[in-house]
């Protein structure tokens, strides 16, 4: 009670009550992310920067070194590179997820993101981000920290990359077998 005499009244104090609940995370598995291709992305700028330094352009003629990066032709070329990089990224990501599935891991598939994954946004090449598991799940954390878990994860990624590299080399050699060294 507060106040005196007739002005006496009850004082109500509103205090928030905080409660915490611990919910066990049961999620296990993998996810692979690729950068979403768009006309206004940082990836276009990264590709342009690679072209300025001569990393993407394979033609060493005077014409190639004197091109304008703001020309419509260069903008189109950059968008074509981004599309090809996106296709290669999506292909590599699907190979990684297929390997995880074949090794018995749960796969949540390949996902596109254009915000929030800084390591993918400004790469002038095919790129993926592999989420190998969920450390908030105690059993998953123990598996990922174990030697068997690490060998399984690395083995799946390396095997997928080997398949990707072989496919890229075959396509680069015009469909001839790259594994045998024949051209």
- Asked whether residue 60 carries a pLDDT value surpassing 60, the answer given is no
Count of domains observed in the chain? 1
**Average pLDDT for the chain:** 79
For residue 55, tell me if it sits in a domain: yes
For residue 1, tell me if it sits in a domain: no
For residue 84, tell me if it sits in a domain: yes
For residue 72, tell me if it sits in a domain: yes
Instruction: Determine the structural domain holding residue 93 and report its residue range.
Output: 38-136
- Pairing between β-strand 30-35 and β-strand 107-113 as defined by DSSP bridges: parallel
For residue 176, tell me if it sits in a domain: no
Q: What is the pTM of this model?
A: 0.66
Residues 6+ apart with CB under 8 A from 49: 124
Q: Give pLDDT tens digits for 1-47.
A: 677 777 787 777 788 888 888 778 888 899 988 877 665 556 566 66
For residue 126, tell me if it sits in a domain: yes
For residue 43, tell me if it sits in a domain: yes
For residue 171, tell me if it sits in a domain: no
For 86-94, what is the mean pLDDT?
Answer: 91
Q: What phi and psi, each to the nearest 5 degrees, are found at residue 97?
A: -65, -35
């Amino acid at each position: 009670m507060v106040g005196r005499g007739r002005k006496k009244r009850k004082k109500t104090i509103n205090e928030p009550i905080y409660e915490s609940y611990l919910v066990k995370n049961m999620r296990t598995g993998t996810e692979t992310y690729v950068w979403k291709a768009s006309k206004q992305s940082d990836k276009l700028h990264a590709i342009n920067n690679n072209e300025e330094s001569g990393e993407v352009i394979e033609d060493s003629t005077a014409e190639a070194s004197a091109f304008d990066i703001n020309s419509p032709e260069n903008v189109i070329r950059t968008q074509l590179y981004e599309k090809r990089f996106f296709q290669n990224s999506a292909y590599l990501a699907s190979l990684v997820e297929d390997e995880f599935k074949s090794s018995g891991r749960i796969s949540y598939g390949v996902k596109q993101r254009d915000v929030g994954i800084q390591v993918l946004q400004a790469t002038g090449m095919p790129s993926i981000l592999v989420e190998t598991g969920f450390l908030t799940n105690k059993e998953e954390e123990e598996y990922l920290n174990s030697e068997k878990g690490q060998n399984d994860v690395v083995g799946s990624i390396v095997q997928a990359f080997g398949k990707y590299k072989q496919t890229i080399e075959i396509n680069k050699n015009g469909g001839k077998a790259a594994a045998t060294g024949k051209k």
